[in-house]
Amino acid sequence: MTPVAAPVRPASPATVDARRWVRRRRIAAEGRADVGTVYTVALAVLMAIVLVRQPVARAVWPPEAPGDPAVTPFIGAVAALAAFFVVLRQLGPLSVSRSDATWLLPAPVPRRTLLAPALALTTTAALVVGAVIGVAVTGHIAARPTGLLVLGAGGATGAAAAVFVALLAIAGQHRPSVTRFADGAGIAVGAGSLVVAAALSAHGEHRLPFPPVPPVAVLAAGVAALATGLILVGLTWRELESWPAAPIAEASINAGAYADVVYAVEPSYLTEMSARRFWRSRTRIRTTRLLRTGWLSPLIAQDLIILRRKAPRLWWSVGAAAVPVYLAEGPAWLLIGVVLIGALGAAGFTGESTHSDAANPAMLRLLGVTGRRVTAARLVVPAVIAGGWLAITLAVLQGLGSLTGPWWVLGLLAGPAVAVGAYQRAKASAAALGTILIDTPLGAFPAGMLLWLLNGIDVLAVLTLPVSVGLVMLPAPEVLGWPWLLAQVVSSALGCALLVRFSARATHLF
């Protein structure tokens, strides 16, 4: 009997070779990136740099030499680090491409090699963001001229703080049990920092309670903390082999969706993706008796339930209400923009119900409601939220002496007008990137993106003219008169009536 040798099992391919194979197959199936899309994205980035480069540079490094060091820049740095933490949590922060998540994540390949690029990218982003924050704080507290030693001390300290924030975000991804607590803590710290900074600036700049530390000591402490953070990053890389696949796969889905938004220049995808991710994380939802209330419309009850379950996100609106305090002495157009855009954002908390009405009209047919009733019901909760936000914001400005008169009443009356703008923005479909182009000094820009970004804001600007004109023409000590309130009542009522009236044309859709 002739012996037959057993077939030799081929060795597992290296991770780099496997990635190259998957990338080639994907390019063969889908093609490479469209040149027009890359051009549009690059043009948008260049336009943003040209428009905001000078204001951002002045905010990071003021030209005037500061006086004694104050507490406010440090509180602002805490708010910026909290925002950076929230962004990292939204992105993962450790993720791979969707092709790698499909083929390499469940395969017997080393997790360390697979996640090393994401860990390196997260660490690099933390170093850059932290260095910018540290330099910005240094620019607000250091005397002029500033030497390289002071800049190095500020940059190293900020980079170390950002690296530790990134490590905290990575730990939250690895341990889903503390994820919700970490996310809530990040939002609360960021919003609370804005409120505290606004309160301090309203009562005068508070100086540091201790004398300034020598730059050499700050530099030594910052370098030591930065070295410790990088060592912890290395230890985290060693522990990546034991990570489960579920959090990596979920982060990969989210990162892929963000990549689709950039690739397709389509920001409307973010709304649906954010809603799906939020409700997917709500695993302990209990039923409520609110929908059983006979005197309350089920559509209004649905918005109230959404608002109650999104209560942690309201902290951002609370923090945003403190932002106009910084701009009370600045240009009127900037104050108006912050006040109205903040109110529009607060009114958009229940905007996903409008999306669900358009995506699932069968539920509205089962309820037997008309387009007018749907529109009227969807305006109630956003009007109350926007009116309350405007009332609080304008009352704070009034308490600081920047405004005089019943401005908080004007904010309440402007709530329905803001709700109309939020409703129009929630109904916005995908951005149309057609052949209509806008000529700019940097090249042609598609008008569809600009129109999508302005959707709802145009309605808001028209219906809140009494607020805008009043902020321009009635600085303190001039008192806001009752004709302004009457004008806002007429404007809000007219906007709601027209929206409900024209919504009758969409009755057949429901």
- 3-class DSSP assignment, residue 446: strand
Q: Same domain, yes or no, for 330 and 230?
A: no
Pick from 430, 438, 492: which is nearest to 455 by CA?
Answer: 430
pLDDT at 507: 42
Q: Same domain, yes or no, for 81 and 172?
A: yes
SS3 content of the chain, % helix, strand, coil (to 5): 75, 0, 25
- Residue 41 resides in a domain: no
Pick from 86, 318, 311: which is nearest to 198 by CA?
Answer: 318
Stronger pLDDT, 335 or 127, i.e. the higher one: 127
- Residue 37 resides in a domain: no
Q: Same domain, yes or no, for 232 and 370?
A: no
- Residue 160 resides in a domain: yes
Q: Same domain, yes or no, for 212 and 315?
A: no
- 3-class DSSP assignment, residue 342: helix
Q: Give me the residues paired with residue 70 across strands.
A: 207
339-361: average pLDDT: 81
If one counts every other C-beta atom within 10 angstroms of the C-beta of residue 509, the result is 13
- 390-416 pLDDT, tens digit per residue, is 998 888 888 877 888 888 899 999 999
Q: Same domain, yes or no, for 315 and 257?
A: no
pTM: 0.73
106-112: average pLDDT: 79
- Residue 229 resides in a domain: yes
Of 39-43, 291-295, 315-319, 479-483, the least confident: 291-295
Q: Is 361 exposed, middle or buried (CB count within 10 Å of its CB: 0-12, 13-18, 19+)?
A: middle
HSE on the CB side for 365, CA within 13 Å?
8
Amino acid identity at 265 = V
Q: Same domain, yes or no, for 246 and 358?
A: no
Q: Same domain, yes or no, for 65 and 201?
A: yes
- Residue 22 resides in a domain: no
Q: Same domain, yes or no, for 430 and 361?
A: yes
Pick from 397, 287, 295, 277: which is nearest to 338 by CA?
Answer: 397
- Which among 230, 264, 298 is the end of a domain? 264
Q: Same domain, yes or no, for 397 and 439?
A: yes
Q: Same domain, yes or no, for 359 and 404?
A: yes
- Residue 32 resides in a domain: no
Q: Same domain, yes or no, for 393 and 259?
A: no
Counted domains in the chain: 2
- Residue 170 resides in a domain: yes
- Residue 220 resides in a domain: yes
The boundaries of the domain holding residue 437 are 290-509
Token pair, residue 153, equals 């001390």
Query: For the chain, what is the mean pLDDT?
Result: 78
Q: How far apart are CA 346 and CA 474, in angstroms?
A: 25
Token pair, residue 133, equals 């924050």
Task: Provide, rounded to the nearest whole percent, the portion of the chain with pLDDT above 70.
Answer: 73
Q: Same domain, yes or no, for 209 and 156?
A: yes
- Which among 224, 247, 264 is the end of a domain? 264
